[in-house]
Amino acid sequence: MAEEEGPAIELRQRKKPKSFENKESAIEEKIDDTAVPERAPKYVLLQRFAKVFIGCLAAVTSGMMYAFYLSAYHERKFWFSNRQELEREITFQGDSAIYYSYYKDMLRAPSFERGVYELIHNNKTVSLKTINAVQQMSLYPELIASVLYQATGSNEIIEPVYFYIGIVFGLQGIYVTALFVTSWLMSGTWLAGMLTVAWFIINRVDTTRIEYSIPLRENWALPYFACQVAALTGYLKSNLNTYGERFCYLLMSASTYTFMMMWEYSHYLLFLQAISLFLLDSFSLEQSDKVHEVYKTYIFSLFLGYLLQFENSALLVSPLLSLVVALVLIKCLQLNVKKGTFVAKIMKVINFYLVCTLTVTLNIIMKTFVPHKENGHMLKFLEVKFGLNMTKNFTMNWLLCQKFLQAPSQDLFLRLTQSSLLPFYILVLIICFLSMMQVILRRINGKSLKETVTLEDGRIGERPEIIYHVIHTILLGSLAMVLEGLKYLWTPYVCMLAASGVCSPELWTTLFKWLRLRTVHPVLLAFILSMAVPTIIGLSLWKEFFPRLMTELTELQEFYDPDTVELMTWIKRQAPVAAVFAGSPQLMGVIKLCTGWMVTSLPLYSDDDLLKRNENIYQIYSKRSAEDIYKILTSYKANYLIVEDAICNEVGTMRGCRVKDLLDIANGHVVCEEGGKLTYSKYGRFCHEVKINYSPYVNYFTRVYWNRSYFVYKINTVISFQS
């Protein structure tokens, strides 16, 4: 025992000097380590500041250049500065004309309060109908624009129309800047933002409708949604400090509420976002507290919007509110169960089922007890769209024939492929989705995720902001595959996700980890590709598309519509101030804007009564008697009827989608399905017969003006039945 203990004592004695040497070396290393940070943090901070400064400068510059580009293109397309006011206003077509007309009404009002009162109790737009135009048409952009125009003294500097379109173009610049920042946050390099902007502008035919209809609600609202998405992306990042989180949360709250006030359909888009966050939270890919803070923002915005939008019941019965309330209730009832266990997995499934069931139940309850205008035409349209029902209804079939409500054509995918956007989007989406599924499977198997994911790990699927965007873009893409009009919600985020992916070293590292690349270090190759690939894409885009953009700005185009100008001039000079005009809804919108006269219908498709009016007025292009048309028009107190030659003699490219064809189907004059009953009309088509000037048409209608495109008839108050 003594011999065994001796060596042990000697070992302990030998450790003493060694420990003393270690202490000395440790002190020396500590001194060396503390000497380096005196210079290293300054260098790192300077490098970070330079990176952020250059990125912010590039983001703001991109937005400003895009706004200037839109302004220059608009000037070249319409030759706007050389036009008279009437010719400028005619460029606003359809519902865009209605929105701008109310902006003009606000500027003509003696005071802001009086102008708002007249819009809320508006009885000078549609005959026999008093509407709350602010609520029904979401006129908050026009209210804000009119206040800014007068408060800033711009009436002495710039014309109202330039101020109005300037605000919209400025918002589009903010839109592009927000997409730039979002891509930058996801990839870590502002090079991704530059590529996002390039793809967005090159594919602007599919990313925005700003070129066709400036005052559209989506052109006012989507820039705020892009800001909200950028703030949400930063908020979801795991490595964000407290001040950054607070800033992102405040920006997200403000932009969510503003977005909801600008567009009547905003809560549907936020509903898709809430589903994405719910799925993110279900797989525990992010702290649940953060996601539920976003839910609180939804609830706050919904109730504040409800109060300030004249108690808009559509927000109370929206699926967004039902989903968020269900999620909050389930969160309160959730039990603390150890993660990874079998019980935890069962609870996840039960929670998912409860959220879905409770959401549907709450929505049914809200619709039962909250008075609201049911959008029955929307439900019927979806039934017909998906083949669940057949109908001869004119409005439903007319909506089905609209291009933006049909499935996207092959041209969309060809354009996105030619700009190289679609191939890279699919590549990035597949890698991110598969990585996300790996993370989910690890969670299901009870494996814990790393608190800090390094680049060498190659796990892009563990980043919550990436996963949110993957889920969100899949949802938006699914809808865009059904309705082409929804591509404008999807393609901007396709640009952003594709650009952030190809510029992210983490995405390439994830791919190389799967391929088990050994010849070259995966991280080194990932860094090379994250710089080389976007550079090659940028150079190819510059070579192919930049000359086209410059050509568009140098070409002088002209919006030439003399017939409409002559018609508006005649109405302003010859028609009585109290006259009421009847005709196609699109033309009525232009008449309301250019003349201010009252009309019988408007090009708005969210109101059942206006849709019924539109269908009745369109009967002037059907095979109905003069007496029937006269009764319809006089029931709306119309004094003048305008027949458009383009509709009466329309030669449609799509069979069965002409207005007169849809009317014949609705009236039973044409059989569109087997077993249908065909009824022959003994009357000719009204729009043709009324031009011939013979009895009984001349007894009811007197032609007072015509040109190549329009025929105006005065509706007789005293009917003469002389031959």
Backbone CA torsion sign across 280, 283, 284, 289 = positive
Q: From CA 286, how far away is CA 238, in angstroms rounded?
A: 8
What residue spans of 516-643 are helical by DSSP H?
522-554, 562-574, 585-594, 608-617, 626-635
Cα dist from 502 to 196, 416, 421, whole Å:
11, 16, 11
Q: How far apart are CA 218 and CA 225, in angstroms?
A: 10
Mean pLDDT of 424-442: 91
For residue 423 the two structure tokens come to 């191939």
Torsions phi, psi of 702, nearest 5? Answer: -120, 125
> According to the model, what pLDDT value does residue 35 have?
40
The pLDDT assigned to 599 comes to 96
* pLDDT score at 337: 53
Which residues touch 538 (CB under 8 Å, ≥6 apart)?
A: 194, 195, 198
Beta-carbon contacts of 311 under 8 Å, excluding residues fewer than 6 positions away, are: none
Per mean pLDDT, which of 340-344, 410-414, 649-653 is the most reliable? 410-414
Q: How confident is the model at residue 367 (pLDDT cuts 50, 70, 90)?
A: confident
The predicted pLDDT at position 704 comes to: 95
Tokens of 516: 């088990």
Distance (Å, rounded) from C-alpha 629 to C-alpha 641? Answer: 10
Amino acid letter, residue 370: V
Q: What is the C-alpha to C-alpha distance for residues 332 and 320, in angstroms, rounded to an integer?
A: 19
392 in Cβ contact with 468 (< 8 Å): no
CB of 201 closer than 8 Å to CB of 499: no
Maximum average pLDDT range among 45-49, 399-403, 613-617, 673-677: 613-617
Q: Is 690 helix (H, G, I), strand (E, B) or coil?
A: helix
Residue 311 reports pLDDT greater than 80? yes
- Give kind and range of the element (H or E) at residue 1: none
Nearest partner of 445 among 359, 581, 345, 555, judged by Cα: 345
Q: d(Cα 720, Cα 723) in Å, to the nearest integer? A: 9
CA atoms of 402 and 697, how far apart (whole Å)? 32
Sorting pLDDT into bands at 50, 70 and 90, what band is 270? very high
Q: What is the mean pLDDT of residues 547-552?
A: 88
Q: Which residues of 80-89 are buried (b: 16+ CB within 10 A; e: fewer)?
A: beebeeebbb
Q: Which residues contact 439 (CB under 8 A, 6 or more apart)?
A: 283, 285, 449, 459, 461, 462, 467
Higher pLDDT, 571 or 455: 571
- 452 pLDDT higher than 70: no
**What confidence tens digit (pLDDT) does each residue in 64-103 have?**
999 999 999 988 888 888 888 898 999 898 889 999 999 9
Residue 705's H or E segment, with its range, is: strand 701-706
Q: pLDDT at position 23, please?
A: 40
Q: What percent of the chain has pLDDT over 70?
A: 87
pLDDT score for 36 = 40
In this model, does residue 338 exceed pLDDT 50?
A: yes
Q: Which candidate, 600, 599, 592, places its Cα nearest to that of 105?
A: 592
**pLDDT on residue 132:** 92
Longest dimension (CA), the chain: 142
How much is the pLDDT for 453? 62
Q: Residue written as tokens 């894409």?
A: 537
Cβ distance 267 to 320 under 8 Å? yes
The residues facing 598 across adjacent strands are 580
Q: Is the pLDDT of residue 142 over 90?
A: yes
| Token representation of residue 186 | 């996801």
Nearest one of 86, 103, 80 to 572, comparing CA atoms:
86
Q: Which of 154-158, 208-212, 466-470, 670-674 has the highest mean pLDDT?
A: 466-470
Per residue in 9-28, pLDDT tens? 333 444 444 443 444 444 34
* Secondary structure letter of residue 291 according to DSSP: H
Poorest-confidence range of 168-182, 203-217, 361-375? 361-375
- Distance spanning both ends of the chain, measured CA to CA: 140
**What percent of the chain is modeled with pLDDT above 90?**
56
Both tokens assigned to 66? 């895009």
Tell me if 462 sits within 8 A of 285, measured CB to CB: yes
Check residues 153 and 582 and name the one with the higher pLDDT. 582
Compute the average pLDDT of residues 397-402: 87
The pLDDT, as a whole number, for residue 384 is 79
Q: In sequence order, what are the beta bridge partners of 42?
A: none
CA distance 58 to 708: 51
- Whether the per-residue pLDDT at 304 is higher than 50: the answer is yes
Q: What is the pLDDT of residue 450?
A: 60
Peptide bond into 696 cis (omega under 30): yes
Alpha helices in 79-213 (DSSP H): 85-90, 95-108, 112-120, 133-136, 140-151, 160-187, 190-202, 204-207
Question: Mean per-residue pLDDT for 34-50?
Answer: 64
Confirm if 495 and 62 have CB atoms less than 8 A apart: no
Picking from 499, 194, 78, the residue whose alpha carbon sits closest to that of residue 70 is: 78
- The whole-number pLDDT of residue 24 equals 42
